[in-house]
């Protein structure tokens, strides 16, 4: 696809404002303050999408609310990554039959990655008749139009065609107030890891223009955001489709030139094209946090091959060695899957040995969940769940000990942190993050939120550090 087909014309985006107005006017005649309840599941990319959806809802005149039962509109922005994520959504939909019965005017919207799965949209069509509007991630920018269609026709609307997807700039947004913000720099995924549903539901890889990303980051820094995360399924392939030779390290370098006191992070990185140049750039750019989330998934080369990951254990270790050589203080996290179809105990232990060898600061660990339609879902999977659970528990045990050990090493030291909010711990009422994104619970008053501080670390456990401002 060429660039013109990918960029959604500004006129088409602007036209959505007409639909926003129609809905605003419709409610103005009917009801003073329509409310909308938005629930987002899944990854940060979905959270960022949810913030755009909320922006559009506000532009349509809705006040955002937490009360799904009472809301005039309920929107579930869903995730399809594992079976459990889908079950939660079906559970929520079940509960919504009651509120819909009491208030037949209630508009129920299902969007996000699950909505894009044919199997799911079919099930919604047939068995969840109280859902009024269903659309996938590629249709997100047309939400006002689709919603208007649902209100006007009083018929159910499905927009779930398999589309490669475009890029719509200038959509409204409701951000979390405070210090953290998300910026999608690209959409979609071309990698087709054999276990993963994302390429099927999020369309093809496409990069926003550097100008659009830079303008958004600049705006956020000027608005006082201090912890900005660039998002993409694989940020290392940013720019591949721009055909200008401009790549992710170039983007980092250009962002770094924006003046201000802030940190830039990014996720996720794919080891197959994480490069020494990326690490050199991280090391030399003052605003780029020395933190890396580099999912390795498995420590066994046969399994990595079956997963279609396109790197080896050795290549991964080599990357880590290089990254640490240029950034000795690097905080490193990863994603791991245990129990891929056909994985043997010995192979799972290779994953654990890699974890021991690298010494990650933290891990996101998953037991393999078959996703219908993916290549892995058709592979024989003879190992019982209980057996996989044992390997998984062993992995957790190794990692928890590692995290606790790394954290204990900080006690007595001084760290620079960014206070990002209040916490639920009465003795340490503030939550803060180090440059490496480590959680530090702090003593102090809430007037400190949003500030960079030097703190003295007084305690630790597996998940957090504890400290006091100096």
**Binding region for ligand SF4 (CB under 6 A):** 189, 191-193, 196, 198-199, 233-234, 270
Between 184 and 223, how does the x/- string for binding to ligand SAH read (CB under 6 A)? -----------xx-x-------------------------
Per-residue contact string for residues 104-133; x = within reach of ligand F3S by CB under 6 A? ---------x--------------------
Going from the C-alpha of 26 to that of each of 64, 108, 154, the distances in angstroms are 18, 17, 14
Strand pairing of 452-460 and 180-184? unpaired
Q: Which of ligand SAH, ligand F3S, ligand SF4, none is residue 199 near (CB under 5 to 8 Å by kind)?
A: ligand SF4
Kindly state the tokens that stand for 105.
């005017």
Tell whether residue 297 is a contact of ligand SAH (CB under 6 A). yes
- Strand, coil or helix: what is 108? strand
Q: Which two tokens stand for residue 464?
A: 């957090």
2-10, 68-76, 195-203, 392-400 -> range binding ligand F3S (CB under 6 A):
195-203
Question: Is 296 near ligand SAH (CB under 6 A)?
Answer: no
Pairing of strands 291-293, 186-187: unpaired
State the minimum distance, in angstroms, from the CB of residue 24 to ligand SF4: 36
353/364 Cα distance (integer angstroms): 16
The token duo for 189 is: 């995924």
Which span (38-46, 170-178, 268-276, 379-387) binds ligand F3S, by CB under 6 A?
Answer: 38-46
Q: Candidates 80, 131, 278, 455: give the one binding ligand F3S (CB under 6 A).
A: 80
Stretch that binds ligand F3S, among 37-45, 101-109, 275-283, 293-301 (CB under 6 A): 37-45
Alpha-carbon distance of 455 to 416, in angstroms, equals 6
Which of residues 16, 35, 45, 437 is near ligand F3S by CB under 6 A?
45
DSSP character string of 302-329? HHHHHTT----HHHHHHHHHHHHHH-TT
Q: How far is the CB of 388 from ligand F3S (least distance, A)?
A: 21
Phi, psi angles (nearest 5°) of residue 165: 95, 155
Say which residue the tokens 């094209």 belong to. 273
Torsion of CA 272, 400, 43, 258, to 10 degrees: -70
Q: How far is the CB of 204 from ligand SF4 (least distance, A)?
A: 11
Q: How far is the CB of 83 from ligand SAH (least distance, A)?
A: 8
Contact with ligand SAH (CB under 6 A) among 68, 221, 337, 440: 337
- Interface pick for ligand SAH out of 27, 90, 366, 452 (rule CB under 6 A): 366
* Alpha-carbon gap, residue 170 to 174, rounded angstroms: 13
- Tell me 72's DSSP state: S
Binding status of residue 335 toward ligand SAH by CB under 6 A: yes
Alpha carbon separation from 243 to 40, 71, 185, 240, 281 (Å, rounded): 34, 46, 16, 6, 21
- Taking the complex as a whole, the smallest distance from the CB of residue 447 to ligand SAH amounts, in Å, to 37
- Of the candidates 84, 66, 78, the one whose C-alpha atom is nearest the C-alpha of residue 42 is 78
CA dihedral sign, ordered 400, 405, 409, 411: positive
| Beta partners for residue 439, in sequence order | 433
Question: Binding to ligand F3S by residue 76, rule CB under 6 A?
Answer: no
Quick check: 144 and 54 in contact, CB under 8 A? no
Q: Is 295:319 a contact under the CB 8 Å cutoff? A: no
The item of ligand SAH, ligand SF4, ligand F3S, none sharing an interface with residue 371, based on CB under 5 to 8 Å by kind, is: ligand SAH
User: Is there binding between residue 82 and ligand SAH (CB under 6 A)?
Assistant: yes
Q: Which is nearer to ligand SAH, 82 or 313 (CB)?
A: 82
Site residues, ligand SAH (CB under 6 A): 81-82, 195-196, 198, 233-234, 268, 270, 295, 297, 335, 337, 366, 368-369, 371
Footprint of ligand F3S (CB under 6 A): 42-43, 45-46, 79-81, 113, 197-198, 202
């Amino acid at each position: 696809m060429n660039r013109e087909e990918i960029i959604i014309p500004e006129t088409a985006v602007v036209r959505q404002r007409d639909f926003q107005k129609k809905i605003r006017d419709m409610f103005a005649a009917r009801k003073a303050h329509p409310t909308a309840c938005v629930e987002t599941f899944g990854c940060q990319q979905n959270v960022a999408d949810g913030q755009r959806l909320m922006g559009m809802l506000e532009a349509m005149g809705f006040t955002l609310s937490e009360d799904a039962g009472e809301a005039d509109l309920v929107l579930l922005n869903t995730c399809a990554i594992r079976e459990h994520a889908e079950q939660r959504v079906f559970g929520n939909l079940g509960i919504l039959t009651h509120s819909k019965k009491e208030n037949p005017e209630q508009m129920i919207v299902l969007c996000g990655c699950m909505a894009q799965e044919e199997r799911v949209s079919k099930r919604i069509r047939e068995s969840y008749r109280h859902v009024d509007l269903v659309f996938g991630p590629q249709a997100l920018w047309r939400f006002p139009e689709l919603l208007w269609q649902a209100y006007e026709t009083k018929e159910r609307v499905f927009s779930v065609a398999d589309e490669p997807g475009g890029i719509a700039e200038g959509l409204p947004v409701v951000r979390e107030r405070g210090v953290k913000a998300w910026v999608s720099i690209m959409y979609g995924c071309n990698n087709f890891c054999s276990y993963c549903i994302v390429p099927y539901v999020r369309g093809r890889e496409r990069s926003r223009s550097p100008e659009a990303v830079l303008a958004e980051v600049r705006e956020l820094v000027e608005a006082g955001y201090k912890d900005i995360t660039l998002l993409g399924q694989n940020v290392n392939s940013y720019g591949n489709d721009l055909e200008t030779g401009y790549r992710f390290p170039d983007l980092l370098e250009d962002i770094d030139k924006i003046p201000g006191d802030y940190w830039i992070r990014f996720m996720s990185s794919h080891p197959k094209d994480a490069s020494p140049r990326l690490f050199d750039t991280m090391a030399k750019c003052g605003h780029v946090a020395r933190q890396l989330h580099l999912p390795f998934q498995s420590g066994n080369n046969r399994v990595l091959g079956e997963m279609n990951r396109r790197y080896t254990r050795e290549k991964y270790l080599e990357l880590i060695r290089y990254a640490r050589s240029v950034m000795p203080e690097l905080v490193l996290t990863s994603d791991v899957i245990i129990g891929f179809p056909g994985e043997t105990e010995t192979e799972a232990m290779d994953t654990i040995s890699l974890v021991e060898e690298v010494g990650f600061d933290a891990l996101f660990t998953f037991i393999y969940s078959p996703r219908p339609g993916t290549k892995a879902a058709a592979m024989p999977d003879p190992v019982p769940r209980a057996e996989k659970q044992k390997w998984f528990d062993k992995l957790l045990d190794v990692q928890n000990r590692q995290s606790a050990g790394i954290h204990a090493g900080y006690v007595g030291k001084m760290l620079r942190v960014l206070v990002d909010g209040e916490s639920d711990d009465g003795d340490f009422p503030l939550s803060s993050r180090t440059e490496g994104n480590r959680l530090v619970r702090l003593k102090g008053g809430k007037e400190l939120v949003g500030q960079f501080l030097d703190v003295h670390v007084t305690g630790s456990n597996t998940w957090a550090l504890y400290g006091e401002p100096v």
